[in-house]
Structure formats: C-alpha cells, structure tokens
Structure 1
C-alpha cells in the first residue's frame, strides 16, 4: 500500500515524462552489477537501447517517506543539460521490486573519491587532471547558479568521472531552486563540506556551493580528506565556532591557495563569482603546464608546484 501511495504522488511526472518520451519501460532496461548503495536506494550499471547507463533504483522507504526529494531530483535532472552534469536518459516507474528508477548516462571512471584514494588516478595523471576536474566542476556549478539552483551536497561521492575523466555532477536529491531573493534556509548536505551559513540555519544562496566547492578542490589538490581527525558534526562546529578550515600544507601554489581561501570565506558575499574562479584556475593550469608537462612523472616540478 505504501508503495502505491508513492506511485500516486508521481502521477504528474508520469504524464509529463510520457509526453516528452522520457518514460522508460522496465522491460527496456537490463540490470548489471551494483555500483553503489546509499540511503536513497541502489545504483546499478545497465543497458538501455544498446547504450550503457546507470540505474538509480529508489528504495521503497524513501518513496514512502520522502517522495518530494525523489520528485525533486527527477524533475531537475530532466531539465539540466550541461557537459559537466551527468546526462539524463529517463525515468522508470512500476510496482515492486522496481518502484521508481532514474536512468542516467554511465560514467565509466566512477566516483571522484575512488579516483583519489583507491585508483590513485590523480597521482598517475598529474596536475593537468586536477585542474581539468576543478575547472569542469566550476563550469557545471556556474551553470546551476545561472539557473538559480543550489546543489547543496557537493562532495567526492557526488562527482563522477566520464570516459575522458571529465567531472560530472550527480545526485540532485538535495538540490533546490533559491527563492526570488536568491536565498534559502534549512540545513542539508554533508557536514564536512557544508557552508557555515547552512550549518547555522541562516539564509543562504548559490554562494553556499562556492564554499563546498572550495573544500572539495582543496581535497583534490592536497589529496587529503578534509577534517580527517574530526567527526562530521565536530568539523561543522569547528568551522562555525573557530573558523577552522582544512589543511593546505601540501599546496605549494600560493595563487591557487589564495583562490581557495577566498572561496571558503565566512561571508558568502565576499566569495568570488564562478567566472573569476574559472579564469584563475585556467591561469594556474597554464603556469603548471608551462613549467612542465603537468604529469606526475616530473616529480621535481610537481613538488615545486605543491602537487
């Protein structure tokens, strides 16, 4: 019964998706291995009309208890089109065991976190890859900001890497449109990447994503998890009460370090615009490549640049 109630709540989306040709029959999907498990359900790799896809099958529990978050993600994904946002293929709705599923493009190089800490891809591919990922993420977040959308959960698990290692933003369950003033309230996201204004339950805007992005790219360039010795809630308190930020000891590029510091300032209004962030990163990438090929094999140059 609970599942059926959940399905009734999706009636409007079903009509819209059917009209747009985005409604996928369960029989058209081939399920492969599990890619990941989370609070909202299980993601599989699979196939749809001869194309590799990722299938996010929402759990019955989330459909029953938080259908709004699921509808929000489905609605947003259908409208977002950008090279640095995972591509939308369609939606599948049916009874158990597959109550509702979001079908997106398959990202062959997996999650950013695995690339950093399991596969060691950044060590193998060097500074050029770090800059390309940082720039691509900024481009994707700039697109969201231009559409007045706050992602609200920027972290390694929500960034995928495509065939060419280009970054793809994913997981829009927490994302929201800001109101007419550009502001929002309500705490959501992951504490270690959460902007202080979000933690404090004060009004926030698209600038909250700039803060989270700074924490993430500092992690990419330093290859060190933020606030590793602290529990998530302890990290949030340290940021708000003490102004603490992740270590930058491994980062030798002073201009890049300064950019990150500007992005994670307490005052959201003082955080830079995405266009400035992108331009600065491109400049720093050019400097890195000018001094070498940007690959990890050139250890002397890499150490001088702090990578």
Structure 2
C-alpha cells in the first residue's frame, strides 16, 4: 500500500506572510494553468457537474478567491478534491452547515515509500527533530478538511483541539479566501480506531465550542477585561491633543507593505518623512479598535534609541492610522536577504546588541513585544536597529503570566504555541531565533511550513540548526535562549552583558 503524501508541502506560506518558496527552484504555477488542468481532468473523468452551464466561471472564481499557494498544492490527480473544497467553502457561508467538515481514511503503509518525482513532502511525519524517520505507522491515518469563518487565532486553537482528540498532525495546509473563509487540510494519525463519521461529529462539536470562544459576544477572561477597561480609562484621562494628529495633514507617497488588516506607507507629516500604518475601514470593529488603542498607548509610553519613534495617531474612525518615524534602511529581514554572504561577526553583534537594548527597555516597562522577528526590526540611515510593530505587544499583567496565543509561528516560544501561561521570557526565545537569523541569513525552519515548524517545536523540541562556524559563546547563548523552561532563559540585561563581552573579546 502507498503511504499518504501531498504535493509541494514546503511551498505553502501557511498562517503567516513568509514562505520558503523564494528559496526553491520550483516556481509556483499560475492559477489559470491549474484551473485549466483541473477543468480538463474533471471532464475527462466524466464528472457531470463539470459540464453544467456556468461551472467554468464558478471554478475559476474558486481559484481566484484562494491564494497562489492553493494552486501550487493542486494537481490533476486532486481534481475531485477541488470539487470537495469548493463545496465545503459554499457550506461555510451558511451558519446552519458551518463548520463544513470532510473526513476520509487515507492510505498508509509500514514502510517509507517514494511518492514519485512530482511529489515533494517535508512533513513532520517523515522525520523527527534529529532527522530520523519514525518506524511506526500503525495508527489509522485520516485526511480532514475543514471550512469555516476565517478568525484570528482559530488555526492554532484548531490544532490544539485536534491534539485533545488524540489526533497527531502529520501535515497541515491552511488557506484563507479573500472573502473571509478558511480552508484547512490536515493529515492526522488517530490514537484509536474509529469511523470517519464519528470523527467528523466529534470534530464538529469541538470546533463549534472553539468558535463560540472566539465570538465577539463571549466575555473575555476577567484579567483581560480589566486590563482593557483600564487601558481605555487611561486614554480617556490623558492629553489626547498632545499626540492625536489631523489625518488631512498626512501626505502618502508609496506603499511599503500590506497586512491582514491594513497597509504601511511612506509619506510626510509637516514636511517630516514618516511611516503611516493605516487600518482598512472594512476591517474596523470593536476588537480591532481595542488593539489599535493598546498599540497607541504602548507607543506613547516608550521612548528609546532602539525603538521606532512614535509621532502621532489619528483616532477617529474610519481613518485609524499610526504615524512613526520613517526608517530608510528597511527591515533587517530584507537586509539579510540582500547579502551575498553571511554577516561579519561584528555586524551580527552590533545588531544583536541594539535589539537587546531595546528589549531590555521594554521589559523594564513591563511590556512584552510578543512578535519579535527580523521583519519587525527596522534600520535607520546609520544602520541603527530599532524595534517596531507593537500591534500585538501587551503590558504584562500583575500575575506575570498570560495565556492568549499570538505572534508568528517560526519565532514563537513553545509555551505560547501550546497555549500555556507565559511571561516576558517568551520574547527571549524569539530573540534567540532572531540571533540565529542574523548569524545565518536564513528563514527559520525554511524546509517546513509555519504550522509544521510550530508542531515540531512543541512536540519534538525542534530548534534551528546551529552552524559549525558559529562563535562558541554565541552557540551557548542560543541554547540558553531556547530552553524549554522559560525560567532557565536569561534576562535581556544578561544577554546585553554576554554580547558586549563577546564583542570586546573579538576586537582584541
């Protein structure tokens, strides 16, 4: 029998904006090419629906509403899967049939067989953290496809509830449509033998509970609610005129980046070059306004050489925007990818010291960044590195721990991925990943999708591979930053001391 495998698993961007596709020699196929191949195959198979008037337009619309990574994952052998995906997405629009779930038994074998030259699988089911293929494939394997409303944090909760049902995720493919729906495909090993229909029923019940927990109508935990109320109270009692700006005085020059809920522009404000983060009006709701308010409050609170300077904000919907100093050097992420070779050790240390100084200042002010990565580190005209993007930053509560998942999978601490209580030491773990980025110039776990990387970090203790040319003291620093036990990770004051000591030694 054949072991179940999927195509171009490593090319998918998953739940975040970064992908290893630009590292691959294989170019993603155009949606139109895939659409044509699928249409031809369905008609060749004699699928009656494929000849129905209007079907061609519907199929093309299906591909257009999904990202390019979806087309890359499809092949003529999966033509009938496309019909199933189309049907589930249609069902997801109706609350009565949402979530829409399809569960089917996948083929499995006790041996690791070649899936063919056209198939490239980097799933965690094939290798463990040490690169060893697991021997046991005796548990029943299922393919689960789920479509529902696309909600923030839902994907990570979905993986957690699967674990709670005794499902070990081997592969994960996550797609979001342009009109706000999700299409998630998982290949899982089940801890016990059960019928696909029974598994489907159990999943539907758990997902409905999960969706209710993410509903805007549901009350948040007392600590979070008190924190939000306190934040709004503080903003009402500050001199708003001091930092609120007139959006009509902003001049937009060019778009620098786009995100899920807004866009970043280069522009000017009162003849000063600035970066303008604009939230799209169609996404503005109560939850987003609270996040926006929190980001403004945090930016107002902080001022440091290694943190992007806050200039002002427009707080009047529908024109919500945050204005900060413009950083002409761009992001460290982009800077690393322009280099033909790895950075000189002195440059790595200078950048790392800048970041550790900024993070030490944040932690001194009880602020956890929660999304520290090279893409959120910007450089000024003198290549001074400054921490940016406080969209998910949070003021640490008095108990010292939090439980809400946030951040970006490749950089996220295991306790955050696993929905366990966490504190400021989650930022230290992320800093370790950033330091590794500076040393290698590579994307963390680039051979895996983001979700596969997250599963590896939690379940297998996966960490980026430290190269042989890494300075021994930096290798030691990486390992202590990546400790599973957060209490074993250093404070940023210690990290600054270590980095400065290494810098001094290498100059002698």
Fold-level similarity (TM above 0.5): yes
1:55 positional shift: 0.6
In structure 2, the CA distance between the partners of 1:14 and 1:39, relative to structure 1 (3 Å rule), is farther
Counterpart residue number, 1:105: 325
1:165 to 361, 368, 383: 383
1:129-177 alpha-carbon deviations (Å, 9 max, x no partner): 2111101101111111111111111112211111211111111111111
Following superposition of structure 1 onto structure 2, how do residues 132-281 of structure 1 map, counting pairs within 5 Å?
Answer: 132-281=350-499
Q: What is the TM-score of this pair, normalised by structure 2?
A: 0.52
- Larger gyration radius, structure 1 or structure 2: 2
Q: Is the 8 A contact 2:439 2:470 kept in 1?
A: no
Counterpart residue number, 2:253: 32
1:70 to 283, 287, 292: 292
Inter-partner Cα distance in structure 1 for 2:396 and 2:437: 27
1:87-127 alpha-carbon deviations (Å, 9 max, x no partner): 0000124455xx1110000111001111000x32885x732
Following superposition of structure 1 onto structure 2, how do residues 5-20 of structure 1 map, counting pairs within 5 Å?
Answer: 13=235, 16=238, 18-19=240-241
In structure 2, the CA distance between the partners of 1:289 and 1:62, relative to structure 1 (3 Å rule), is farther
1:226-247 alpha-carbon deviations (Å, 9 max, x no partner): 1111111111111111111001
Counterpart residue number, 2:270: 49
Q: CA RMSD in A?
A: 2.1
Q: Is the 8 A contact 2:374 2:437 kept in 1?
A: no
1:40 positional shift: 2.5
Inter-partner Cα distance in structure 1 for 2:239 and 2:252: 22
1:46-96 alpha-carbon deviations (Å, 9 max, x no partner): 111221110111112442252211111111111111111100000124455
Q: Secondary structure at the match of 2:254?
A: strand
Q: Secondary structure at the match of 1:108?
A: coil
Counterpart residue number, 1:303: none
Q: What is the TM-score of this pair, normalised by structure 1?
A: 0.85
Aligned residues: 277
2:339 to 88, 113, 120: 120
1:13 positional shift: 4.6
In structure 2, the CA distance between the partners of 1:23 and 1:15, relative to structure 1 (3 Å rule), is farther
Inter-partner Cα distance in structure 2 for 1:121 and 1:169: 25
Unmatched 5+ residue regions in structure 2?
1-231
1:28 positional shift: 1.7
Inter-partner Cα distance in structure 1 for 2:298 and 2:236: 14
In structure 2, the CA distance between the partners of 1:61 and 1:17, relative to structure 1 (3 Å rule), is farther
1:178 positional shift: 1.6
Unmatched 5+ residue regions in structure 1?
1-9, 291-307
Q: Secondary structure at the match of 1:107?
A: coil
Query: Which has the bigger relative contact order, CA under 8 A and spacing at least 6?
Result: 1
In structure 2, the CA distance between the partners of 1:58 and 1:248, relative to structure 1 (3 Å rule), is same
Query: 199-208 or 53-62: which moved more?
Result: 53-62
Q: Is the 8 A contact 1:45 1:52 kept in 2?
A: yes
Inter-partner Cα distance in structure 2 for 1:130 and 1:52: 28
Query: 64-73 or 77-86: which moved more?
Result: 64-73
